[in-house]
A and B are shown apart, each in its own frame.
Chain A
C-alpha cells in the first residue's frame, strides 16, 4: 500500500542535543510537509518542499531545518532541542498545490513523538 512512514515513532533526546526525524513516502507526491502538534493545539506548519523548492514559514524558529534529498525522503533536523520543542511531529504529503476540485487532501504519517529531557 502506498503510504507515508515516519521513523522513529518515539524519540527521546537530551536538551541541546541535535536530533533528526525522518519521513518517507511511496505515493510519489510532489509536496512534503512538516507539522508540529502540541497537546490540545492545532497542528502548526513548519515548512514544506515542492519538489526541491524549500518553503519556510515565517514564524518557524531557525532551530528547525529540513532536507529533501530525493522525492521519497524528507528529514526534520532540530539543531538544539529545547523543552518547548517536545511535541508530535507530523509529516504529510500532497500531490501538488490546493486545486479547485475536491480531489485534495493530505496523507499523513503516524507521527514521531519527541520528548526532550
Chain B
C-alpha cells in the first residue's frame, strides 16, 4: 500500500518567516501534486511535478521532487497571512486513476 507522510502536522509562524514542509513515502510515484485547502473549501491544485530532482517555483513557493521520486518538499519564502491553510501532497502513477493523499500540514501565518 502506498502511503504519503507529511511533516510537520502543524506549523504556526510569524509573517515574513520562511518555512519548509515535507512529503515522504517509501514508494515511487510518477506524478506528485501539491494542493492548498482553506477551511470549509475543497483543495486547490498548486503544482504537479513528474521528474526526479525537478524544482518548480510559483511566486514565493518552491516545490522540489526528490531524485528517486519518493519525496517532495514545499518551501515558502516570506510567508504571508494569505498562505494560511492546509497543504496536501498527493501522488499517483501513470495510467492509474487513484491519487493517494497525505494528511497535510496545517500552516498558520500570524500577522
> Using a CB–CB distance below 8 Å, which chain A residues touch chain B?
4, 6, 9, 31, 33, 35, 40-45, 48, 50, 55, 57, 90-92, 94, 97-111, 113
Across the interface, do B30 and A100 meet the contact criterion of CB distance under 8 Å? Answer: yes
A94 — nearest CB in chain B belongs to which residue? B97
Q: Considering the chains assembled together, what is the distance between the CA atoms of A109 and B44 in angstroms? A: 9
- B74 on the interface (CB 8 Å rule)? no
Q: Considering the chains assembled together, what is the distance between the CA atoms of A100 and B94 in angstroms? A: 6
Contacts A48-B97, A99-B94 given; does A110 touch B40 at CB 8 Å:
yes
In residues 10-46 of chain B, which contact A (Cβ within 8 Å)?
30-31, 33, 35, 40-45
In the assembled complex, the CB of A55 is this many whole angstroms from the nearest CB of chain B, namely 7
- B79 on the interface (CB 8 Å rule)? no
- B93 on the interface (CB 8 Å rule)? yes
Across the interface, do B42 and A31 meet the contact criterion of CB distance under 8 Å? Answer: no
Total interface residues on B, using CB and 8 Å?
A: 30
Q: Considering the chains assembled together, what is the distance between the CA atoms of A91 and B43 in angstroms? A: 10
B interface: dominant SS: loop
Across the interface, do A31 and B97 meet the contact criterion of CB distance under 8 Å? Answer: yes
Q: Considering the chains assembled together, what is the distance between the CA atoms of A66 and B81 in angstroms? A: 39
Across the interface, do A45 and B98 meet the contact criterion of CB distance under 8 Å? Answer: yes
Q: Considering the chains assembled together, what is the distance between the CA atoms of A89 and B33 in angstroms? A: 20
Across the interface, do A50 and B102 meet the contact criterion of CB distance under 8 Å? Answer: no
- B101 on the interface (CB 8 Å rule)? yes
Q: Considering the chains assembled together, what is the distance between the CA atoms of A4 and B43 in angstroms? A: 12
In residues 60-85 of chain B, which contact A (Cβ within 8 Å)?
none
In the assembled complex, the CB of A95 is this many whole angstroms from the nearest CB of chain B, namely 11
Across the interface, do B97 and A97 meet the contact criterion of CB distance under 8 Å? Answer: yes
Across the interface, do B48 and A102 meet the contact criterion of CB distance under 8 Å? Answer: yes
Contacts A43-B101, A55-B97 given; does A90 touch B50 at CB 8 Å:
no
Contacts of A104 in B (CB 8 A): 31, 33, 48
In the assembled complex, the CB of A99 is this many whole angstroms from the nearest CB of chain B, namely 7
A101 — nearest CB in chain B belongs to which residue? B50
Contacts of A45 in B (CB 8 A): 98-99
- B52 on the interface (CB 8 Å rule)? no
Q: A33-B97, A106-B45, A111-B41 are known contacts; what are 19 more A-B pairs with Cβ within 8 Å?
A: A6-B42, A40-B9, A42-B102, A43-B88, A44-B101, A45-B98, A50-B97, A90-B43, A91-B42, A92-B42, A97-B95, A98-B31, A98-B94, A98-B96, A102-B31, A102-B48, A103-B48, A105-B45, A108-B44
